[in-house]
């Protein structure tokens, strides 16, 4: 099952966001927005979409860098491409990115005829998944190794639906004090569940490449799958 690039109107309706879209065979009960890392909608993100489609979900990965570098497709294991990705992240307008994610949510709600839309994001996308939970009517949000969430805790009162965050304790991009702040701010939040992965680093659930840790990725992904099954039922 392979997806394809389709276009989704922006919230303002005056432009179109390129999205990788994977559609399941048969009836669609729910949809999942897959939120990219800083490496764009690359083969790993496309594989995640294909996986969700194989489970019966409409899966949509918006090309969030389309305004600055449409079609970004970078490899985390290639140093020059890693640097290019960091450069793009520096230019990326995150608030605009959330509006583009919201446009994809609206598209998905119309496509499936219900509000059963969730999101899952990785790295930068993990941060954006948390912001999406705070700023949109998304029904379930999952963030893997989201960066800078400790700086977003002022928005936590706006979380209306379930959130799950996967936190590797040895994340080079999320220091121990940031992780402690996340736990202090979110452990008692009725809608938020945090899972720690002891000794693991950023990117442990990447589909391909050197960052992946098979056991931890399998555990986190099984938790994510059960979470969506419950909250998008």
**Which positions are catalytic?**
171, 202
Q: How far is CA 208 from the centre of its chain?
A: 16
In DSSP notation, the chain reads ---EEEEEE-TTSSSEEEEEEE--SS---EEEEEEPBTTBS-HHHHHHHHHHHHTTEEEEEE-TTHHHHTT-B--TTSHHHHHHHHHHHHH--HHHHHHHHHHHHHHHHHHHTSS-EEEEEETHHHHHHHHHHHHS--SEEEEES-SSGGGGGGGGGG--SEEEEEEETT-TTS-HHHHHHHHHHHTT-TTEEEEEETT--TTTT-SSSTT--HHHHHHHHHHHHHHHHHHT-
CA 143/CA 125 separation, integer angstroms:
7
Q: Which residues are paired to 197 by β-bridges?
A: 168
Question: In this structure, what is the dihedral angle of CA atoms 60, 164, 158, 15, given to the nearest 10 degrees?
Answer: -10
């Amino acid at each position: 099952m392979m997806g394809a690039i389709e276009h989704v109107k922006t919230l303002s309706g005056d432009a179109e966001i390129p999205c990788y879209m994977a559609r399941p065979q048969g009836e669609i009960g729910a949809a999942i927005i897959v939120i990219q890392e800083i490496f764009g909608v690359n083969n790993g993100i496309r594989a995640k979409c294909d996986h969700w489609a194989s489970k019966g979900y409409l899966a949509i990965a918006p090309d969030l860098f389309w305004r600055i570098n449409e079609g970004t497709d970078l490899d985390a294991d290639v140093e020059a491409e890693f640097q290019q990705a960091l450069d793009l992240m520096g230019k990326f307008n995150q608030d605009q990115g959330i509006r583009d994610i919201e446009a994809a949510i609206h598209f998905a709600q119309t496509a499936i005829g219900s509000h059963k839309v969730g999101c899952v994001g990785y790295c930068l996308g993990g941060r954006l998944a948390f912001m999406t939970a705070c700023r949109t009517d998304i029904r379930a949000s999952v963030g893997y190794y989201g960066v800078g969430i400790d700086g977003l805790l002022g928005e936590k009162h706006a979380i209306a639906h379930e959130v799950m965050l996967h936190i590797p304790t040895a994340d080079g991009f999320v220091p121990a004090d940031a992780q402690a702040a996340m736990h202090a701010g979110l452990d008692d939040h009725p809608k938020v569940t945090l899972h720690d992965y002891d000794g693991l680093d950023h990117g442990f659930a990447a589909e391909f490449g050197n960052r992946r840790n098979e056991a931890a990725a399998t555990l986190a992904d099984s938790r994510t799958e059960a979470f969506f099954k419950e909250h998008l039922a």
